[in-house]
Amino acid sequence: MKAWKIAGAVALAASLGGVAFAQTGGPIKIANVGELSGGGATVGTNFKNGADLAVAEINAKGGILGRTIEITHADTQSNPGVARAQVQKALDGNPYVLLGPGFSGSVKVTASLAQQAGIAQIMGGEAAELTQTGNPYLFRTSFGQQSTMPKVARYIAEDVKAKNVAVIWVNNDFGKGGRDTITKEFAKRGVKVVADISTEAGQADFAADVAKAKAANPDALFVYLNEEESARILKELRRQNVQVPLIGETTLTGQKVIELAGDAANGARGHVGLTTDAPVPALQQFRERFSKKYNYVPDHNGIKGYLAVYVVKAVTEKMGKVDPKEFAKTLHGMTITPDKEPGILMETTYDQNGDIDRQSFMTEVVDGKQVVKAVLPKLGS
């Protein structure tokens, strides 16, 4: 009787093994955890749509190494606590790679989970500290603040020739990281911060903040907020007739900001790592495909989501196998070029920290459109 039980157990194990084997040969599972609602809905929705577009394109061409991609989406509600729970849930499903979240605060609390699981996390966060913790599984889709802020500070000091600057920032990990980094860069270049104004995520009324900045009489304003708040403050800056140059980063001149702020966005300048307005044919073609599918023009988060999936494709094809453990090692130090992987849009190099190096752009909003004023080369070129 005992022998029969053992034989039965062996047969069951064999059949389960067969199922497991069938799964490894099935679709490649990618889990995306992003800000689909709450304050970061613009970020997460764009990222999701970009990723979905890439998945659809890759699957239409036969997938990766002959296997299709299956992507799932979970909503962090723009809340780091929810993000942690959603990432844990996503990791429990044994994905090949984890995408997102987009908010630095949410990345900060979830990175250790992906690291423990040994799963590569390709995220949208830009806070400088994220890739400085020695986590070998964390990768960016855009520049970190340590790469962008020196460029922005140099532009404000040398091109705008501002001596006194007011800094308005959002009091979360993203905003604080940016504020701390640019303040150091300003100090190096002899630019004085005459007003240091923190605002809250989701803040609706910026009348007092703008009045404070205006009263400090700066030569330029550095605005570092999330998209919706950027739109609100641009409208308030217009209402209070602030005439000094408004300079920020990607989140000040994004498509969604322009749509929300309307005319008030005109004149705002921003350093942008990724923009569909860039004079790069591959980016413009992406913009057309995205707009056709979703009926709106993507912002940089849409490009981030798209690129993240093509990074997965490039790495997997380089390895020649679907190996989650080997993925992170392969991506460190890897350069992906558009001639080998057109979906990567621009030549991209990952360093040993998971930071990214590629071209970037200085933009200005002119007549409701983001116009690229200068192309800045890769740091390593």
Partner 1 sequence: MATLVNILIAGLATGAIYALVAIGFTLLWQTSQTINFAQGEFVMLPAFFMLAAANMGLPFWAAVLIGFNVTMLLLGWGFKRLLVDPMLRHGVLPLAIATMALSVFMREAVKEFFTAEAQPFPSIVPATNIDILGAVVSLQNVGALGVAVAAVLALQYLLTRTSVGHQMQATAQNPTVARILGVPVDRMILYTFLINAGLVALASLLITPIYLAKFSSGEVLGQAAFIAAIVGGFNQVRGAIAGGLLLGVVDNLAATYVSTQYRAAIPLFLLIAIILFRPQGLFGRAEERTV
Q: Which of 343, 367, 365 is nearest to 289 (CA)?
A: 343
Min dist CB 363 to partner 1, Å, is 20
x-or-dash string of contact with partner 1, 188-207, rule CB under 8 A: ---------xxxx-x-xx-x
Please give the residues from 89 up to 128 whose contact with partner 1 meets the rule CB under 8 A: none
Q: Does 264 bind partner 1 (CB under 8 A)?
A: yes
- Which one of 48, 151, 232, 287 is in contact with partner 1 (CB under 8 A)? 232
Structure tokens at 20: 């497991």
Q: Kindly indicate which of the ranges 7-15, 64-72, 226-234, 270-278 contains the residues binding partner 1, using the contact rule CB under 8 A.
A: 226-234
Cis before 150 (ω within 30)? no
- Which one of 32, 45, 110, 348 is in contact with partner 1 (CB under 8 A)? 45
Min dist CB 123 to partner 1, Å, is 20
b/e map of 58-90 (b: 16 or more CB within 10 Å)? bbeeebbeebebbbebbbbbbbbebbbebbeeb
Please give the residues from 153 up to 192 whose contact with partner 1 meets the rule CB under 8 A: 171
Instruction: Using CB atoms within 10 Å of the CB of residue 19, give its burial: 0 to 12 exposed, 13 to 18 middle, 19+ buried.
Output: exposed
Q: Does 267 bind partner 1 (CB under 8 A)?
A: no
Our CB check for partner 1 shows the closer of 75 and 355 to be 75
Contact residues for 149 (Cβ-Cβ < 8 A; gap 6+): 128, 178, 181, 182, 185
Q: Does 32 bind partner 1 (CB under 8 A)?
A: no
Q: Kindly indicate which of the ranges 35-43, 57-65, 319-327, 349-357 contains the residues binding partner 1, using the contact rule CB under 8 A.
A: 35-43
Q: Does 341 bind partner 1 (CB under 8 A)?
A: no
Give residue 303's region: left, alpha or beta (phi > 0; psi -120 to 50): alpha
Min dist CB 231 to partner 1, Å, is 7
Q: Kindly indicate which of the ranges 1-9, 59-67, 152-160, 238-246 contains the residues binding partner 1, using the contact rule CB under 8 A.
A: 238-246
Min dist CB 165 to partner 1, Å, is 17
C-beta atoms surrounding 349 within 10 Å: 17
Return the CA Rg of the chain: 22
Residue type, position 357, single letter: D
- Which one of 8, 10, 62, 263 is in contact with partner 1 (CB under 8 A)? 263
Q: Does 23 bind partner 1 (CB under 8 A)?
A: no
Site size toward partner 1 (CB under 8 A) is 37
Min dist CB 312 to partner 1, Å, is 26
Which residues contact partner 1 (rule: CB under 8 A)?
36-38, 41-42, 45, 171, 197-200, 202, 204-205, 207-209, 211-212, 214-215, 228, 231-232, 235-236, 238-241, 256, 259-264
